[in-house]
Structure 1
Amino acid sequence: MKRIGVLTSGGDAPGMNAAVRAVVRKAIFHDIEVFGIYQGYQGLMNGKIEKLELGSVGDIIHRGGTILQSARCDEFKTKAGQQQGIEQLRAHQIEGLVVIGGDGSYRGAKALTELGFPCIGIPGTIDNDIPGTDFTIGFDTAMNTVLDVIDKIRDTATSHERTFVIEVMGRGAGDLALWTGLAGGAETIIIPEEKFEMKDIVDRLKKGNERGKKHSIIIVAEGVMSGVEFASKVQAETNFETRASVLGHMQRGGSPTAADRVLASRFGARAVELLLDGKGGRAVGIKENHLIDYDIVEALTSEHQLNLKLYDLSKELSI
């Protein structure tokens, strides 16, 4: 293999640039040319492909977002769109592709592999919702971004004796809510994976109030309901002054943490190694701090498993 391509797709995540850098430099170390594909699968179809040199990825390891940009592309879900992408790859004599993104990105990589073009998936999403890996690129940074906000909101919640509901991202997964809620000492964490009773939440808030606790932090995953809606329900049930904060896309931005930079570097290098071994249709992951790779179909057909022991722990510690 003499030429490979790399693209980022779907929602951006801190650490994607570190992964791109690792792919480029690992490949060049092995005398392989690397081509960057801009704007994801949309850019692939449109031929937005440029050769990347060592200097192309200089000074990007600390930058959030992705220098390759990203886009969503419904047309690439069709066989015609996928074939158009392969034609562009062959026109540039690219023999393998590294795809950095979430499950939608993996679907594109799987489709290309099934059409005879080897692809390797790298999990890049703040949602941490890709089955088969303990962590995804961007999750740790997003956690620290949310945690910083929780700490700041707790200051004002204490000063004004208010209940605050903080809505965090995660799509249908509760990882971001759970980990940040536990780390931030939230009194209540609401996630899609576990049912909740409003009565239980109200009772907990009232018991806290009776023992002199005048403020509370509630973390709600966006996959459950909006923070504004949940705050309205809490205030109606308790008569406690309640405010909602929806963090939104700020959770995707910012300079990646050391953990995300190292993880992305390991993932990127491993993806290149798999292509050099002639493998395609694989996904890179990490389990108990050991790099793994597995059939990308597993990532698309398995269910993401939340660590419910952490959820139980959060409830025990928030009494």
Structure 2
Amino acid sequence: MKIGVLTSGGDSPGMNAAIRAVVRTALYHGCEVFGIKRGYSGLLSGEIIPLDSRAVGDILQRGGTILQSARCPAFKTAEGQALAKEQLLKMGLNALVIIGGDGSFRGAQDLNKMGFQTVGLPGTIDNDIGCTDYTIGFDTAVNTVLDAVNKIRDTASSHNRVYIVEVMGKLSGFIAAAAGLTGGAESVLVPEIPADLNALCAKISRSLHEGKTHSIVLVAEGFYGDPVDADQSSAFKVGRFVAQHTGCETRITVLGHIQRGGTPTFFDRKIATLMGAKAVELILAGETEKMVGIVNDKIEAFDMDAAIGERKQVDPQWLDLIRILS
């Protein structure tokens, strides 16, 4: 059995732990393992390398992905998929483990239709994949945001300021909601749920009048959609509105790609390791077009159609509780 592994789409902390688990579990069972560099782009260009146990040594604690990642519009074309099939046949690969988000899994489905066995691992900081409570990298990203919010709170309270903090999430507000709930944000604005900015401003003004020394608002980057220019980002739009309607000194912080990097947390290393091992078990059992998820702290396999058929949504009750507790 020859198994390939690739990481696709945006990187997330814990991908390396998943790669390590896939490689060493497969080797233990007598399989050959090959890494496909730069996701589907590397597949099309034939960037396929053998991986032994030493190749994945000392990567458990590292963020990013040693296999690198890239977007690949060419893979979506008939010509691109034909080339991918040619490369896989040339290397004699029987099965592939794809680590990524919903776009990566759709690519896995395309490969499955070509006759290749595929299993997906949910690797995305957005936590927006169905059939799993958590995706690889989400916990680390939220902890990165919390660390930043803790530091911002120090300066915000020193100057009686309102801070608008933009976090990642073009279509998903899970990072904003989770960090807001556990970081004591005044309010959280997410793409999935409309918000009344006038009510937000009234709340900020009332809080400051009652003696609160600062307010922190977390905004998912996709709250206003995908901006054309940086000064049209969701945080800047919300910040201008708040400043105009409250008269408060307002500052904008865009956390950006620091949320993707950093040493993965215990939790991300744990689920990545368990999911990686499970992926190999599924392949050896002849399963295909499956995604490995974690539900109620149990590692389970799900049909990939179910996993990507409906985008997971932020629970509105989280936002209500954030409002109550602030």
> Per the shorter chain, which TM-score range?
over 0.9
Shift of 1:44: 0.5
1:303 and 1:72 map into 2 onto residues whose CA distance is 20
- TM-score by structure 1 length? 0.98
Larger displacement relative to structure 2 (52-61 or 116-125): 116-125
Task: Please tell me the residue identity of whatever aligns with 1:313.
Answer: L
1:303 and 1:162 map into 2 onto residues whose CA distance is 36
CA RMSD of aligned residues (A): 0.9
1:273 and 1:145 map into 2 onto residues whose CA distance is 32
Other structure's SS at 1:97 match: strand
Task: Please tell me the residue identity of whatever aligns with 1:173.
Answer: S
Shift of 1:79: 2.2
1:89 and 1:268 map into 2 onto residues whose CA distance is 21
Task: Please tell me the residue identity of whatever aligns with 2:286.
Answer: G
Unaligned runs of 5+ in 1: none
1:258-301 CA distance string (max 9 Å, x none): 10000100110111111111111111111111112111112222
1:24-56 CA distance string (max 9 Å, x none): 000001011100000100100111001000000
Unaligned runs of 5+ in 2: 225-233
2:144 matches 1:145: yes
Shift of 1:308: 2.7
1:124-154 CA distance string (max 9 Å, x none): 0111111111100000000000000000000
Match of 2:51 in 1: 52
- TM-score by structure 2 length? 0.95
2:267 matches 1:259: yes
Q: 2:308 aligns with which of 289, 300, 303?
A: 300
Larger displacement relative to structure 2 (309-318 or 228-237): 309-318
1:37 and 1:265 map into 2 onto residues whose CA distance is 19
2:298 matches 1:282: no
Match of 1:76 in 2: 75
1:185-229 CA distance string (max 9 Å, x none): 001111122211111101111110121113100000111032111
2:317 matches 1:317: no
Other structure's SS at 2:292 match: strand
1:84 and 1:273 map into 2 onto residues whose CA distance is 28
Task: Please tell me the residue identity of whatever aligns with 1:126.
Answer: I
1:233-282 CA distance string (max 9 Å, x none): 10001000000000111100001001000010011011111111111111
Other structure's SS at 2:81 match: helix
Shift of 1:306: 2.0
2:284 and 2:81 map into 1 onto residues whose CA distance is 23
Larger displacement relative to structure 2 (203-212 or 11-20): 203-212
Shift of 1:310: 2.1
1:242-253 matches, cutoff 5 A:
242-253=250-261
Aligned length, in residue pairs: 317
Shift of 1:307: 2.7
2:163 matches 1:164: yes
1:56 and 1:72 map into 2 onto residues whose CA distance is 24
C-alpha contact 2:177 2:314 (8 A) present in aligned 1 = no
Task: Please tell me the residue identity of whatever aligns with 2:179.
Answer: T
2:53 and 2:309 map into 1 onto residues whose CA distance is 37
Other structure's SS at 1:120 match: strand
Task: Please tell me the residue identity of whatever aligns with 1:18.
Answer: A
Match of 1:88 in 2: 87
